[in-house]
Amino acid sequence: MYNMKKCFFFFLLLVSTFCLGQDRKVELEISGAKKYKELYIRSNQLNNVIIKFSGKTLDGTNWAFIIPDSIVKKTRDFDFSGLPENDKRNDFLDVSQSGNKKKPENQIEFLGAIQGDTLRGFYINFEKDEQLIQLKMKYDHTDLFVNKQYDESLKKTVIIEEYDEDYFLIDSISNQYLKENMADLFFGFFRSEGGYEGNLADMVSKIKKNPNSMYYLTRLAATTNFYRTKSDLEKLYHLFSDEMQHSYFGQIIYNNFSTFDIANISLTNCDTKKEERIVENPDKYTLLIFSASWCGPCRKKIPMLKKIYKEMSKTLDMVYITIDDEKMLPQWEKLMRTENIPWRSLSLNNNKELKDAWNIGAIPDYILINPDWKARKISLNDENDINILYSFVLNRK
């Protein structure tokens, strides 16, 4: 009877995954003395946002998680935490969020044998089109983690937070991301041996061996500021496969080395006919949108651009730059009125030198200008591209 219930439970999860289309699934089979009343998988993203998904179980042994594909594509890595059954501990001090005492979740870590050594790791992730991750894990032991910090005002070291870390043995490490995380727990560049050049050469070697590695791609996207030169970052980027280069994290890496200097030139405002600087507020990001009255694909982007403007206008200025010539400018101005465009509109007036300098080819095209006057070409073709734009602006990259 139990087996029938278990099969029916996972059948329902399978059906829900199919019905939702592109959702991914993680399954844990836990053995040993540790049981949880609640178990979570956490999506860690580049903007430090953590999204938690609750696991489903019938017996506390077999757990399943359903994760939307849209979340997976933006996730740097996943880790696990849980509330154990029959936990009789006193509340631990945790002032990292509210300053109040609370009982934090236990953090889950993995132990596995790789080439004869027992290594530990924290994180998993989906490789390319992988739809299912299955982990069989046996409870080993629990350690108390204590985070201390010296308080200058008190002239002593104080406890910031403390929580339990539950360690589980994994006999066969099937998840490639976890395997690479165990072999390189702190990500090679943060080790001192070999110096910068030695670690760079080591990274080159590792990516060449696995150009589809999600582990090295996401870690590279998270540490772009570490590299001494943009050419070093570009060298590593081009070692990945084309598919990885064009992924969400690949584009983040690309946009970090593809910046260029841009001058705050003046162009004619299509409404007032006065000369204006392309950047009106240097403290904000500015998105230049290259378009024309005759461009059908450009018109189709207007609803998307209005949505971005509505959500980001406090931190992002948007400026239309039309490449219409003087004869077509009345049509452009009519389009702006008809569509009730709320942002400024400037005319490039067939300035070929500027088009070449900014590498404006097919339209629509976009340039994002940082407050430090660094500019980068970006794409706005789908939701992933929009998320990258938001990530740059919100994280001030």
Q: For the residues of 305-326, what is the DSSP string, one character each?
A: HHHHHHHHTTTEEEEEEE---G
Give the predicted TM-score (pTM) of the model: 0.62
198 and 323 belong to one structural domain: no
Conformational region of residue 263, where left means phi above 0, alpha means psi within -120 to 50, and beta covers everything else: beta
300 and 193 belong to one structural domain: no
Give the closest residue to 171 by CA, choosing from 232, 227, 100, 113: 113
- Domain range for 337 is 260-394
Choose the final residue of a domain: 132, 163, 183: 183
Helix runs in the chain, H state only: 2-20, 69-72, 176-183, 195-209, 214-222, 230-237, 242-245, 248-257, 296-300, 302-312, 329-338, 352-357, 383-394
* Residuewise pLDDT in 10s, the chain (397 residues): 445 544 544 444 444 444 445 799 999 999 999 999 999 999 998 877 899 999 999 999 999 999 999 999 999 999 999 999 877 655 444 444 444 455 679 999 999 988 788 899 999 999 888 999 999 999 999 999 888 877 777 778 888 778 899 999 998 888 999 999 998 756 555 554 667 888 888 889 999 999 999 999 999 988 887 787 778 899 999 999 999 998 989 988 887 788 788 889 999 999 999 999 999 999 999 999 999 999 999 999 999 999 999 999 889 999 999 999 888 999 999 999 999 999 999 999 877 778 777 878 778 989 999 988 888 888 888 787 888 888 888 876 5
77 and 114 belong to one structural domain: yes
91 and 210 belong to one structural domain: no
17 and 152 belong to one structural domain: yes
Q: Which two tokens stand for residue 296?
A: 């059908």
Q: Which two tokens stand for residue 326?
A: 């003087």
Residue 309 belongs to a domain with what CATH number? 3.40.30.10
- Classify residue 281 as exposed, middle or buried by CB count within 10 Å of its CB (0-12, 13-18, 19+): exposed
208 and 307 belong to one structural domain: no
**What is the count of structural domains for the chain?**
3
DSSP 239: T
247 and 273 belong to one structural domain: no
